[in-house]
Structure 1
Amino acid sequence: MMRAIGEMFYSDPSQHTFVSFISRYLGPTVGHFTGWTYWIGLVFVCMAELTAVASYVRYWFPTFPSWIVEIIFLVVLAGVNLIAARLFGEAEFWFAMIKIVAILAMIVTGIFMMTSHSVTPLGHASLSNIFHNYTLFPRGGFNFVSAFPMVFFAFQGIEFVSITIGEAKTPHAVIKKAVNETLFRILLFYIGALIVIMGIIPWTSLSPDSSPFVQVFRLAGFPAAAATINFVVLTSAASSLNSCIFSAGRHFYQLATEVPENSWMHKTFAKISKNGVPAAAIIFSAILVLVTPLMSLTTAVSSVFTIVTGVSSDMYIIVYTLAMLAHRKYRASSDFLPNGFLMPAYKVASPLTIMFFGIIFISLFFIPEDIIGAIGAIVWTLVFGGLEYFRQKKLVPSNV
């Protein structure tokens, strides 16, 4: 999907969001529907990350009310986004640096333990642990499939890299670098970390009750692992929340610019503050995220997280699928650059990607916590999509 989006941006780097390509190749009706769906998905991602922040803070303050923690973090990070884009970038840099250092430290520690054949209470650290007692779907096929939605949620926002491409001085070079490095970092920080974790801890001994990072550092003899990793994941969740507020505010601003200039929405939210940010759009998006503290007053934090991640995944599946369909239309259009930044193995990879999104969506109906969100996504698509279709039909004369 990233290569598909990258290919479209390479053909027209002036666009600020991939939703623009959906409008161009699938029509303004689908584009407008996608814009609103994507923004709602972003709001729910903000809610999920805010819930995660509260759960991590509870490690140190178990009796402190979660809703107060959520309000504090939301106000602080919304304020960071309101001051200036530069401050957002500075905060994001340090959030990311903490996360990257922790992951690299674990990978280096793991490689050292495996190459030196360190002895742990679970045996020897070795790559052979990955294949020893290998069993396909050891907990059953259902558990394997039911993990897809949560993994899918972990990768939501991967398209954020495309938001500022249009502002780059050399967009063609930046697009290639950004997309390719994103894929490389996935291999390093996700796949690489998983290999190290399973090399040190046999998969039969991994515990779901604590972070695998914590388990690795404990086996390495690092007693403060739990508190340290909890701080790392807290900054990671805060980083994601920071990015979501940034993106949600700008996408709502974009939606406001697309409505008639005499409408209240355009007059209120299609404005840039003196600090150069869409302040009104950011504040409105942040206000909606305040639903999370209200939910935390009546529901367990873990349940709130499951609900909001499920809803956000539903919205994103719709948007990502439409992005892939837009790419297929692009390939058949006169805009197609045969010598551009092409998606590899397009004829095979494109339908497989769309099919995979469909499988993830279907899997939601087999997970009790995600059924409501999945049904809600269908209702949203039929109702809002239908209303948007008839609205656009009225705007376009029948003889055109």
Structure 2
Amino acid sequence: MAETTEDGNKPPKRGLQNRHVQLIAIGGTIGTGLFMGAGNSIHYAGPIILLVYLIVGLFMFVMMRAIGELLYADPKQHTFITFITRYVGNRAGFFARWSYWLTVVFMGMAELTAVAKYVQYWFPGLPSWLIQIGMLIILTCVNLVAVALYGETEFWFSMIKIIAILALIATGIILALTGFKTPVGDVSFSNVFHHFSFFPNGFGNFINAFQMVMFAFVGMEFIGMTVAETDNPREVLPKAINQIPWRILFFYLGALFIIMTIYPWQKIPADQSPFVMVFELVGIKWAAALVNFVVLTSAASALNSVLFSASRNFYALSFQSKARFLQPFRKMSKTQLPINAVLFTSLMVAFSAVISVIPEITNAFSFVTSASTDLFLMIYVLTLIAYMNYRKSNDYMQDGFLVIAPKTLVPLAIIFFAFVFITLFFNPDSRIPAIGSTIWLVVFGLISWWQPKKAIK
């Protein structure tokens, strides 16, 4: 019997292997924020940034375990947003479905803009819009050929990021053990704790560090949807999600610790990539070009994941809504891929190329993309509420992939995400986007409230 979801649609073909998922899961927890933004976060928070990453990583892990338990209980679903409709209600589901899809699309537009910027490092004469269209066509084709090709592409994108971080960590350890001297001082593990202070730049900057780190983790939930594309999701899902804490500890905390080992944290500039500084120290003159290549693949990887995730969500939307204009997006290709959903999602992301040639609305674009990132926090909260309601339902699977200490950690995670959102209003750089996302919450929340209380079958 053919597999179907609760909406009656035939899900996309499962074509990812375990090795794809494991590497994608690692790469999914590593973003350009680490390569380009680590210096900024260390500059403002100092060594305590390690604790901030631990705290944020803990609550993101709780959310991922909640998503994992839901998908494990019902592996037919290819997006966790479905569970918000099922366990919170159609109105909340309507808000989450459309908000999440639009948020991910805006995220893709931001990544596509970044891709153009990185390519122009080598080819400054190429127009941004041309680079964006070219990259979008390539990755759209990747998403249309087969799920396995998407997995293979992400596998190598992730491999590049992992090798870069391993090279940084290995370089730092060697420099520390050999007593290497730099223009700013000796390389030593003691640099991390020298003149240690919990709030070296004030309590306000410590609080702001949470939002900087939080945004570095946004998109981690793509791992759950990737696992849903495997032939044996119940076997792969626990492995992929349970390894997240170790990846965070090793890759994020390991990289940050080594950076502060090489450079005294008080002297790390906020506006320069620590990766560039470290590789230049060991004599790699083309360090800037190397890091530019890494962040280019990182942005391309994020864009690839956006096309994959957003198209699956839009495909699900076409079944969850009875609107006639959405019916064509139910179409599947011969290789069982949601072809029209992928093409429409790519078309929406392509508006980034249009925006790039209209300088007058550059600030507006930054505003929209920043505000959409804030919406992730709202969706995370709705996901955790859905999880708590699932535990009270008849669907609860007592022998499933269970969250650890759910009665304590899940409510704490909800409080934490709400806390991060509130802090956005106290930072001048994030205040306007926070206001914008709040307006979206109120306006689209009212529109969602006008929807039927129960989904129309």
Asked whether the two chains share a fold, i.e. TM above 0.5, the reply is yes
Q: Secondary structure at the match of 1:73?
A: helix
Q: Counterpart of 1:357? A: 417
- d(CA) in 1 for partners of 2:108, 2:432: 19
Q: CA deviation at 1:166?
A: 4.0
Rate the CA distance shift 1:67–1:301 in 2: closer, same or farther, 3 A.
Answer: farther
Q: Counterpart of 1:347? A: 407
- Conserved in 2, the CA contact under 8 Å of 1:107 and 1:192? yes
Rate the CA distance shift 1:64–1:356 in 2: closer, same or farther, 3 A.
Answer: same
- d(CA) in 1 for partners of 2:227, 2:364: 34
- d(CA) in 2 for partners of 1:208, 1:306: 20
> Unpaired segments of 5 or more residues in structure 2?
1-62
Listed one character per residue, the Cα deviations across residues 342-391 of structure 1 (whole Å, up to 9, x for unaligned) are: 32232332222112211221222233443343233223233323223222
Listed one character per residue, the Cα deviations across residues 204-249 of structure 1 (whole Å, up to 9, x for unaligned) are: 1212232111111112222221111111111111111111111111
Q: Which amino acid aligns with 2:325?
A: W
Rate the CA distance shift 1:191–1:46 in 2: closer, same or farther, 3 A.
Answer: same
The reply on whether 1:163 has 2:163 as its aligned counterpart is no
Rate the CA distance shift 1:236–1:72 in 2: closer, same or farther, 3 A.
Answer: same
- d(CA) in 1 for partners of 2:363, 2:179: 41
Rate the CA distance shift 1:279–1:224 in 2: closer, same or farther, 3 A.
Answer: same
Q: Which amino acid aligns with 1:330?
A: Y
- Conserved in 1, the CA contact under 8 Å of 2:356 and 2:362? no
Q: CA deviation at 1:147?
A: 3.9
Q: CA deviation at 1:302?
A: 8.8
Rate the CA distance shift 1:167–1:229 in 2: closer, same or farther, 3 A.
Answer: closer
Q: Counterpart of 1:205? A: 267
Q: Secondary structure at the match of 2:86?
A: helix
**Between 216-225 and 297-306, the greater mean CA deviation after superposition:** 297-306
Q: CA deviation at 1:286?
A: 1.6
Q: Counterpart of 1:253? A: 315
The reply on whether 1:330 has 2:390 as its aligned counterpart is yes
**Between 70-79 and 221-230, the greater mean CA deviation after superposition:** 70-79
Rate the CA distance shift 1:168–1:86 in 2: closer, same or farther, 3 A.
Answer: closer
Q: Which amino acid aligns with 2:324?
A: S
- Give the alignment of 1:118-129 within 5 angstroms: 118-129=180-191
- d(CA) in 1 for partners of 2:257, 2:361: 31
- Conserved in 1, the CA contact under 8 Å of 2:64 and 2:224? no
- d(CA) in 2 for partners of 1:183, 1:166: 20
Q: Which amino acid aligns with 1:129?
A: N
Q: Which amino acid aligns with 2:205?
A: N
Q: CA deviation at 1:26?
A: 0.6
TM-score, structure 1 normalization: 0.90
- d(CA) in 1 for partners of 2:77, 2:282: 48
Q: CA deviation at 1:338?
A: 4.2
Q: Secondary structure at the match of 2:174?
A: helix
1:148 to 210, 219, 236: 210
Q: Counterpart of 1:263? A: 324
Listed one character per residue, the Cα deviations across residues 321-359 of structure 1 (whole Å, up to 9, x for unaligned) are: 101111121233333344433322323322221122112
The reply on whether 1:41 has 2:112 as its aligned counterpart is no
2:193 to 111, 114, 131: 131
> Unpaired segments of 5 or more residues in structure 1?
none
- Conserved in 1, the CA contact under 8 Å of 2:154 and 2:304? yes
Q: CA deviation at 1:305?
A: 7.5
Superposed CA RMSD in Å reads 2.4
- d(CA) in 2 for partners of 1:29, 1:59: 46
Q: Counterpart of 2:441? A: 381
Rate the CA distance shift 1:222–1:208 in 2: closer, same or farther, 3 A.
Answer: same
- d(CA) in 2 for partners of 1:167, 1:292: 28
Q: Secondary structure at the match of 1:114?
A: helix
Q: Which amino acid aligns with 2:326?
A: M
Rate the CA distance shift 1:309–1:325 in 2: closer, same or farther, 3 A.
Answer: same
- Give the alignment of 1:248-327 within 5 angstroms: 248-260=310-322, 263-266=324-327, 268-299=328-359, 306-327=366-387
- d(CA) in 1 for partners of 2:374, 2:396: 30
Q: CA deviation at 1:144?
A: 3.2
Q: Counterpart of 2:241? A: 179
Q: Which amino acid aligns with 2:74?
A: D
1:371 to 431, 435, 446: 431
- Conserved in 2, the CA contact under 8 Å of 1:53 and 1:238? yes
Listed one character per residue, the Cα deviations across residues 78-114 of structure 1 (whole Å, up to 9, x for unaligned) are: 2222232222222212211111111111111112222
1:82 to 130, 137, 144: 144
- d(CA) in 1 for partners of 2:298, 2:105: 18
